[in-house]
Each structure stands twice: as C-alpha cells, then as structure tokens.
Amino acid sequence: MNIPFNKPHLTGKEAHYMYQAVFNGHLSGNGEFTKKCQRFFEERYGFKKCLLTTSGTDALEMCAMLCDLKPGDEVIIPSYTFVSTALAFLREGAKVVFADSMKRNPNLDAEAIEALITPRTKVIVPVHYAGVACDMDKIMEIANRYNLLVVEDAAQAINSYYISHRCCDGRFAPSEENPRKEATILPLGGIGHLAAFSFHETKNITAGGEGGLLVVNDERFIRRAEIIWEKGTNRAEFFRGAVNKYGWVDMGSSFLPAEINAAFLWAQLENLDEIQNKRKALWETYYKLLKPLSEKGYFSMPVIPDYASNNAHMFYLILPNLEKRSALIKHLKDNGVLAVFHYLSLHSSAYYADKHDGRVLSECDRYADTLVRLPMYYDLEIEDVERICEVIKQFIR
Ligand SMILES: *Cc1c(COP(=O)(O)O)cnc(C)c1O
C-alpha cells in the first residue's frame, strides 16, 4: 500500500457542524462559528484579537496592509519560506530584503538581521519553520532598538511555544547589567505585533482545505484590522452598536471566511490536543528510529533549540547533497512512500532574481537542495513510520 505525503484528517464532527452552520441561517462570515473559533484562540493562547481569514496568505496580506508601508520601505524576510510571506509585503510596494537561514535549522538567522537594517527598514518577518520558534528574544530586542514592527509568519506554528528570557523590567536583551530572569513560555503568534496562521489542508488543523487567522497582539492595530477585514468599512463597530451607520472608511478586502469553513475548523479545534498528541508520537518515532543513522552522518535531523517547543508539523531530513536527496526520494517512491522537498530559494526565483541585491544566501540554498519532508499526518500509523524508516535504512545500505 502506498503511503501519501499528506492526508487531511477528519475528526468526524465536521459535517455535523457545517450542517448546523447552514441551518443557523447565517452563511456569510463573522457568524457564531467564526466567533467561537476566534474566542478559542484568544482564550487558549492569550492572543489580544483574532480574526479568521480565508487563508494564511490573506492573513499575511492583512498584516502587510496594517504595517502601512510606503514605497521603498524595506521588510526583512527569510528567503527559505513559502512565496506568500514575501508576496504579501511586495504587493504593498515594499522592498523585500531576503535574509539567510541558520546553520542549525532553516529558521531566519537572527544574528544576521542587524547587518540588513537601513533607515528604510520597517518590518522583520520571522517564519517559524516546521512550527519551531525563531530566536524571538533576539528578534524582539533588535526590533525594539530600531523601532521596527515584527510580523510572525506562524502558518505552520499552531500550538507551539517559545521560552522567553525577556527581562522583567520589560527590556528584551539580557546583558550584564540586566541578567536573565526566569523564563516565560509564550505561544508562537503571540510575540510579534501581528501574526498569521494557516489552516490549509497540509497544516496540523484545517478549516476545510483553506483558511487562516490574523492575530493582533498590539492593540493599536485592532480597530484598523477589523476595518480591513470588512472590506474597508466600519461594519464591525456598527454591529457592536458603537456607530449608528457604517460606511467606507479605509482600504480593505474580503478577508472573512464563510461560516461553513469556520464550522469545519471548530470540529478540528475541539480535537486539537488529540491531533497534536498523535502527531508528536509519530514525530518521536521517526526521530528515535532514524537517530542511529544520523549519528553515523548519513543525514541530519531537525534541531529544536532549547528555547523552542515542537508541534510536530513536519519531519524532515537534511541529506549531504542534492544527488543523495534525489536518490532517496526516488528510492522512497519506488517503495510506495511519497516524500517531497521544498522551498526553492525565493531570492533566486524567476520572479525575484533580478530584484535581489546579489548577496549569496548559502544556508538557504543548502536547505533548498538537501531537505526532504517525510509523510506526516494524523491518520499515519506508527507501523507506517516504522516501514518508512526501514525503507530509508535499506537505502543507506
Ligand atoms: C502554508 C504557509 C503559508 C500560506 O498559507 P495558506 O493558508 O496556504 O495561504 C504561508 N507561509 C508559510 C510559512 C506556510 O507554510
């Protein structure tokens, strides 16, 4: 039997809640299920304001609009990410400055950010790759010092955390005068000024194929976020009774998902812990079974820094070179296992290569050539993971 790379999981309640949404008589956005989902995120993670969107891309576009960029303003984005991270800011007329990844994992190298800052820099966009946190104390400290906004691309990072050593007096960087105080555990998406999650069917939970969430942590952006969400109108205030008529007051678009998508998402949220526990068990099995081979140097495995948690969004291997990766993917495919690679470096993509400033981003290029993602989804069984690991062992032999 073939093992696909991904399979969207159904908890069993999706159709039931979608049926309820239909018979509630409120089909468009911002109905009961939308409000229930938004409240869930606000209560569980302490996010200030949550707005469901039709995709993670849309949530990122809302973030970019809220940053109020002027032509020529610069945004620092890792090159090793999905297109939408960059596209959202490029659409607003910003200049995207691509940053390299770390040596130890594909996340944005926080140490390399400062060298990219110019007087035009406005935003830093850390992407929590595979749901593993970027070094957020460092990134927030730089952002504070240069007065920049931070937009977290938390598309893959639902239910994942960062262990912060931010100092108690509110300053970020620990220093000799300001030594590290006790750790605080912060949910990813709750640290930057704004954040975007995705509920695409390839993510840990889905809103029926496509969906996303905008998180506003900085209160200054809440009112405008609601307006942009409601096609540039102050409709949300009208519904709250705060104004007696609503009209066009700002930029915006149609970012609200329909209620049936929110109903689908609600069924998944009710089962979030169960979904996460299963995914973690699968991840741990991969890790345990493949560790001996990684210790012999055949490939390396995901590195979770001590400031990060693991939400088991993805299990990947890093092969020594492109040829070996291609050979492994082929061997897996010949044995009925679908493994995939991604991302192609955005700075050298067909669309952006001639706009890039020519800096070499070698870690990013290395991940683009050598990273392979193994099957990871709720309905995968431990025995499947064991079989996949056997096929990999066979390949090494
Ligand atoms: C999935 C993903 C997105 C886009 O989310 P959609 O819901 O597919 O629009 C953006 N950034 C990253 C890092 C992603 O993994």
Cα 4 to averaged position of ligand 1 atoms, centre (Å) = 20
The last residue of one of the domains, among 237, 270, 303, is 270
Co-location of 170 and 204 in the same domain: yes
For residue 211, tell me if it sits in a domain: yes
Cα 272 to averaged position of ligand 1 atoms, centre (Å) = 19
The model's pLDDT over 33-82, given as tens digits with 9 standing for 90+, comes to: 999 999 999 999 999 999 999 999 999 999 999 999 999 999 999 999 99
Confidence of residue 109 (pLDDT cuts 50, 70, 90): very high
What is the best residue among 82, 91, 344 to mutate for testing ligand 1's pocket, by most ligand atoms within 8 Å of CB? 82
Co-location of 256 and 363 in the same domain: no
The last residue of one of the domains, among 246, 270, 294, is 270
For residue 8, tell me if it sits in a domain: no
Number of domains in the chain: 2
Co-location of 282 and 254 in the same domain: no
Co-location of 224 and 333 in the same domain: no
Closest residue (by CA) to atom 14 of ligand 1? 155
Q: What is the 3-state secondary structure (H, E, C) of the chain?
A: CCECCCCCCCCCCHHHHHHHHHHHCCCCCCCHHHHHHHHHHHHHHCCCEEEEECCHHHHHHHHHHHCCCCCCCEEEEECCCCHHHHHHHHCCCCEEEEECECCCCCCECHHHCHHHCCCCEEEECCECHHHCCCCHHHHHHHHHHHCCEEEEECCCCCCCEEEECCCCCCCCCCCCCCCCCCCEEEECCCCCCEEEEECCCCCCCCCCCCCEEEEECCHHHHHHHHHHHECCECHHHHHCCCCCCCCECCCCCECCCCHHHHHHHHHHHHCHHHHHHHHHHHHHHHHHHHHHHHHCCCCECCCCCCCECCCCCCEEEECCCHHHHHHHHHHHHHCCECCECCCCCHHHCCCCHHHCCCCCCHHHHHHHHHEEEECCCCCCCHHHHHHHHHHHHHHHC
The last residue of one of the domains, among 210, 245, 270, is 270
The model's pLDDT over 324-343, given as tens digits with 9 standing for 90+, comes to: 999 999 999 999 999 999 99
Residues with CB under 6 A from ligand 1: 55-57, 81-82, 84-85, 127, 153, 155-156, 198, 200, 212
Co-location of 234 and 375 in the same domain: no
CATH number of the domain to which 389 belongs: 3.90.1150.10
Closest residue (by CA) to atom 5 of ligand 1? 56
Co-location of 215 and 322 in the same domain: no
Q: Which residue has the higher pLDDT, 95 or 179?
A: 95
Co-location of 39 and 172 in the same domain: yes
Task: Report which listed range, 172-176, 238-242, 321-325, is most confident.
Answer: 321-325
Domain of residue 92 covers: 14-270
Co-location of 385 and 371 in the same domain: yes
